[in-house]
Amino acid sequence: MQSPKETKNQRGFSLLELLVTMGVMLVIMAAVFSLMGSALKTSTVAYELTNAQQSVRTAHEFFNRDLTVAGDGLLGISDNGIQVRLPFAQRLMQNPYQPTIAEGGFDSTSFAVLSIVNSDNEVAAGVVEPANSGATVPARTVRSAPNATDRMTMVTIDPDGAFTPISPIPPASVSADGTTVTVTIAQSGQCTAGDILFISNGDLATFGTVTGGCGATGTIVFANDAYELNTLSTGTTPGRALAKLAALGSPLIISRMLIHHYFVDTDGLLRRRTYGVGGGVGFTDSVIAERVTRFQVRYRLFGFDSAFNLLYAGLQNDLSYVAVAPAIPNLPSAVREVETAVTIETAHAVVNNQRSSVNATATTSVRNLEFRNNAQ
């Protein structure tokens, strides 16, 4: 039996060789981790920017959808035809339009015009969007710092179609004080106290808050409400909006129209507040985008005189009947396109410990205003 050979050279690596090897490995690993860190940072930046860009796109998709259908269901309503109580209009804009000449008994001191598209340019500090009647949506303050933001409001038909329009309603079915409408039991069963409904005679219209009746009562009550849509005006021709419409003598129609109201709150949330939804809540809020630092709206106008001569064409920041040269009697009716600009910050710092911003501008044609112009 042969014994294994002994190997005399069993020294292994020297300490110096190990130190050199470890040093080389450290250099290599440092380079690898540096590349990995750069790749991870690049990936994080790309994710943050992509997320912000997607939020901007989502906001513009909402604007585009609502502006495209703005005015649907309002065929025949005159340019100054939707008259609402001034306190409600001041919820939506700082300087609502009050015509100097009253239309259909709606005096200009107590009522304001709600157009298909309405603007509120650079909202002042401290402006509050009130809570709804059921307090299911709390009050929110509009963002004014570090940048003043705009508000935009538009009127559209309710796409749900669950509410069947009630028509024709004889003027005699409206009580003298404009607080009660007598309808069939089936018709009154469609509404709930707290609903905001649209009432029209085909030319003029208003919004009213349901405060009672409904169910199997065969009546719909429009008494004093939290939104002050039904309150008695105390101007040159006192009266409630519903009573003024009935006094004109034409049959009435009660339907559901929506008022979409966009604003940015102090938390940087772009909100879409919708008045006129069912369920007795009055309105609901939806968050469209987060971390919004700028929301600005501009309006491309084409104004014509009674002989269809072009008076004005250009971009306007505000539709609150500020002076333009030459003056257009009804600025909102002259809107043909709406330009919306939104800036959104990334959720986290991405470059030099600073957040980056993504901004985009989109333009949408308001087709119903174009149709109105072509039909004139």
Domain count for the chain, please give it.
Answer: 1
Q: Record the tokens describing residue 70, joined without a space.
A: 């703005």
Tokens 């901007």 belong to 56
Q: What's the one-letter identity of residue 326?
A: P
pLDDT digit of tens for each residue in the chain (376 aa)? 556 555 556 667 777 778 888 888 888 888 877 777 776 676 677 778 888 899 999 999 999 999 998 888 887 787 778 999 999 999 999 888 877 666 777 887 888 888 888 889 999 999 999 988 777 889 999 999 888 999 999 999 888 878 899 999 999 999 999 999 999 999 999 999 999 999 999 889 999 999 999 888 899 999 999 899 998 887 667 788 999 999 999 999 999 999 999 999 999 999 999 999 888 888 999 999 999 999 999 988 776 666 666 666 677 777 765 545 445 556 677 788 899 999 999 988 877 788 888 999 999 988 766 555 444 4
Tokens describing residue 329: 């009697």
Residue 322 lies in a domain: yes
Q: Kindly write down the DSSP assignment for every residue of 7-32, as one continuous string.
A: PS------HHHHHHHHHHHHHHHHHH
pLDDT one-digit tens code per residue, 71-99: 888 877 877 789 999 999 999 998 888 77
In a domain, 5, yes or no: no
pTM as predicted: 0.84
- What torsion do the CA atoms of 258, 144, 320, 376 make, to the nearest 10 degrees? -40
**Cβ contact 348:48 at 8 Å:** yes
Cis peptide before 168 (omega within 30 of 0): yes
Q: Is residue 9 part of a domain?
A: no
Q: Which domain holds residue 334?
A: 49-375
Residue 344 resides in a domain: yes
pLDDT number for residue 171: 94
Backbone angles phi, psi at 38, to 5 degrees: -65, -40
Can you read off the two tokens belonging to residue 251? 């049959």
Query: Which phi and psi (to 5°) does residue 231 adopt?
Result: -65, 150
Strands 151-157 and 117-120: antiparallel
Considering the domain boundaries, does residue 38 fall inside one? no
Residue 33 belongs to a domain: no
Tokens at 29, concatenated? 């690993």
CA 85/CA 87 separation, integer angstroms: 6
Q: pLDDT tens-digit profile of 35-74?
A: 777 766 766 777 788 888 999 999 999 999 999 988 888 8
